[in-house]
């Protein structure tokens, strides 16, 4: 496997693990507020991010490469409201989308067709992630000043379940 591309995958594995860590911090915020449905949504998100990281981790090994693990940055934990949390989630997912695009460009640069093909899955996943988050954010904007609406949304988010993705 091309070394530059392998390193770029290692950086992205770290970013996916950071994403899991960030969403775990958000899960803690919601648990502390007794908003268990929101906490459940975040818990599913944590598992999704771990799956994203492992998809890349396994891929590098499949290609005969090696994964160098790096330190995971401390996530922010100072959220002012559920709306603030979801605004940050959307901002973060847009950032991750830009990282996946950069990683794809590196794969294109070194003409690694198998990696480009794998990354198509991640590109599509990002479209879905951003759409899901925008949806919750839109609902939150409507519910934010109405505790009953917030509790209804909490109940709705309690139904989210983790389905292990088939990556690639």
Contact status: 50 vs ligand FEO (CB under 6 A): no
For ligand FEO, the closer of residues 93 and 154 by Cβ is 93
For ligand FEO, the closer of residues 93 and 112 by Cβ is 93
Dist CA 54 CA 64 (whole Å) = 15
For ligand FEO, the closer of residues 46 and 150 by Cβ is 46
3-class secondary-structure state, position 102: helix
- Considering only residues 89 through 108, tell me which ones interact with ligand FEO, judged by CB under 6 A: 93, 96
Dist CA 51 CA 165 (whole Å) = 7
- B/e letters for 51-82, b = 16+ CB within 10 Å, e = fewer, are bbbebbbebbeebebebeeeeeeebeeebeeb
CB of 162 to ligand FEO, least distance (A): 13
| Residue of 6, 14, 19, 104 interacting with ligand FEO (CB under 6 A) | 19
| Residue of 1, 42, 52, 104 interacting with ligand FEO (CB under 6 A) | 52
Q: Which two tokens stand for residue 95?
A: 């950032």
CB of 85 to ligand FEO, least distance (A): 14
Q: Is the distance from CB of 103 to CB of 9 less than 8 angstroms?
A: yes
| Residue of 1, 5, 6, 16 interacting with ligand FEO (CB under 6 A) | 16
């Amino acid at each position: 496997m091309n070394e530059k591309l392998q390193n770029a995958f290692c950086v992205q594995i770290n970013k996916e693990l950071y994403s899991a860590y960030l969403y775990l911090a958000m899960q803690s915020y919601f648990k502390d507020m007794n908003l268990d449905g929101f906490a459940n949504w975040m818990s599913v998100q944590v598992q999704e991010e771990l799956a994203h990281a492992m998809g890349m981790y396994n891929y590098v090994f499949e290609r005969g490469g090696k994964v160098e693990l790096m330190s995971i940055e401390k996530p922010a934990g100072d959220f002012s409201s559920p709306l603030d949390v979801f605004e940050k989630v959307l901002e973060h997912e847009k950032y991750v989308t830009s990282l996946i695009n950069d990683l794809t460009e590196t794969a294109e640069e070194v003409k690694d067709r198998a990696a480009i093909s794998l990354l198509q899955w991640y590109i599509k996943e990002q479209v879905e992630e951003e759409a899901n988050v925008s949806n919750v954010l839109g609902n939150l904007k409507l519910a934010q000043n109405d505790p009953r609406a917030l509790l209804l949304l909490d109940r709705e988010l309690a139904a989210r379940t983790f389905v292990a993705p088939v990556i690639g």
